[in-house]
Chains A and B, each alone.
Chain A
């Protein structure tokens, strides 16, 4: 491990531990009303150990939905972004569609998805991947239009045809920039997943939050929120590692 990344881990751990200590200190000896307003770490731990099987199950369900939705949305979005740059005609055809759909929050269409596909996973995944799809389409489109034209000309002059140019020039060139798009899409995927679960999907941390809300189990709500943060953090780190591998060639790796 490089010294800089080791320092980062040490610094982050110190901050986290400090936050937990402060939280612990502030919520020690709290009243029942206090425990309702801001539960102590001990209460959360009790909840976790008490129903860890259910909570694990819910966490994995949410995580699974996020990852599958993000993956589908990313690949379809890249494909759409590429199509939009492939020629003028495709751009003229696709741009209005993207521009009309883009401002619509996908969550607003949830009733349709549920009517069409039922309450099962398919409608959840459609919702999540649609949110990611829009972000990645735009990110890919902008990335490709910003590729230095000298690379494209050099490739053409060396004998590359259009599809080969996409494969060997445009796609590798946009990878570093695409990471920020995918990270935005990841955050959006978590938000959409929890919202969908909150609105009616079975299982998942959003479902857990909804149920806990009706019986005012605030410690369960806070625990679910923290678990979401942890899942998001791990996924984000994982994405960074993958992209670091893919972009060894950039002057300063991200």
Chain B
């Protein structure tokens, strides 16, 4: 087991009241497992990611990464954000090298790693370009390569493709899976898109809101490598509609709560 989340509570204090973001949250994530986190906005998905990244500390409970508690952000747990986080003042090549520079990987080793990922994301001829000259999808590929280059133990992805158009998004899903098949990593993947979550993951965690907690965990049975066609299979669609109905039921539960 790589990550153990045991009875985690996170609450944010404000002047008027405490907001409980996560309540009694339990989850185990295995090494090299692709886990998706699905749920409504405000159910604590990003809070969970921030905990594992080390940007945030739990109010109570145990959070272990390789058996140790997490004290701060580090390059073994790299985050890929929804927003464009590719550094605009660095070229594609230097963006990919950023983490390597930060942790002190130099010389031929650095060169080889950067070259390898430039190849893998298909941007070899764009090495000297600045991000302003790339499309949104290309920038996201640079972001992925930059995260992969530091060889993290876990990739934390917060709706990484949320800002892309539908076509680029599908393309990026396949690219990420290819990269992942090539080099297995533990991935925690937050998304709103249920079909994307099923398509990508081994395990899908459905969260229920207010306060955020694990509602149900689904094992995703499809064999790998996967391609976009499986999204049209009966099995896939059945799973998708099951999860969608559950999500919908949270909404109506919320609505009755408000009318009361």
Contacts and interface: CB of A to CB of B under 8 A. Distances in A.
A156 B53 CA distance: 10
Interface in B84-126: 84-85, 87-90, 98-99, 101-103
Contacts of B81: 150, 153-154
A158 interface: yes
B132 A158 contact: no
B89 A156 contact: no
The SS class assigned to the A binding surface is helix
Interface in A180-238: none
A165 to B, nearest CB: 9
B102 A157 contact: no
Nearest to A156: B73
Interface size class of A (residues with CB under 8 A): 20 to 34
Contacts of A150: 81, 83-85
Contacts of A154: 79, 81, 85, 87
A159 B75 contact: yes
A155 B102 CA distance: 8
Interface in A140-178: 148, 150-151, 153-161, 164, 168-169, 172-173, 175
B190 interface: no
Contact of B89 (A148, A159, A164, A173): A173
A168 B147 CA distance: 17
Given A157-B75, A159-B99, A249 B53 contact: no
Q: Most chain-B Cβ atoms within 10 A of its Cβ — which of A159, A160, A169, A175?
A: A159
Nearest to A160: B102
Contacts of A175: 89
B147 A158 contact: yes
Contacts of A250: 88, 132
B75 A158 contact: yes
A159 B99 CA distance: 6
Given A150-B81, A153-B55, A158 B87 contact: no
B140 interface: no
Interface residues of B, number: 30
Interface string A71-108: 00000000000000000000000000000000000000
B57 interface: no
A3 interface: no
A17 B242 CA distance: 78
Nearest to A148: B83
Interface string B63-90: 0000000001111011101011101111
A158 B130 contact: no
Contacts of A50: none
Given A164-B102, A168-B98, A249-B88, A158 B131 contact: no
B203 interface: no
Contacts of B75: 157-159
Contacts of B53: 153, 157
B51 interface: no
Contacts of B72: 156
B81 to A, nearest CB: 5
A169 B94 CA distance: 13
B141 interface: no
Given A172-B89, A173-B89, A250-B88, A159 B79 contact: no
Interface in B158-183: none
B146 interface: yes
Given A153-B55, A154-B79, A157-B53, A169 B99 contact: no
A249 to B, nearest CB: 4
Given A150-B83, A248-B130, A249-B130, A155 B98 contact: yes
Given A248-B130, A249-B88, A250-B88, A158 B98 contact: yes
B150 interface: yes
A251 B132 contact: yes
B156 to A, nearest CB: 8
B67 to A, nearest CB: 21
A77 to B, nearest CB: 21
B89 A249 contact: yes
Contacts of A251: 132
Q: Most chain-A Cβ atoms within 10 A of its Cβ — which of B54, B73, B150?
A: B73
9 contacts: A150-B84, A153-B53, A154-B85, A154-B87, A155-B102, A158-B78, A158-B99, A168-B98, A250-B88
Given A153-B53, A164-B102, A249-B130, 18 more contacts: A150-B85, A153-B85, A154-B79, A154-B87, A155-B87, A155-B98, A155-B102, A157-B73, A158-B99, A158-B146, A158-B147, A158-B150, A159-B150, A160-B102, A168-B87, A168-B98, A247-B89, A250-B132
The 5 closest A-B pairs by CB, nearest first: A159-B75, A158-B99, A154-B85, A172-B89, A159-B103
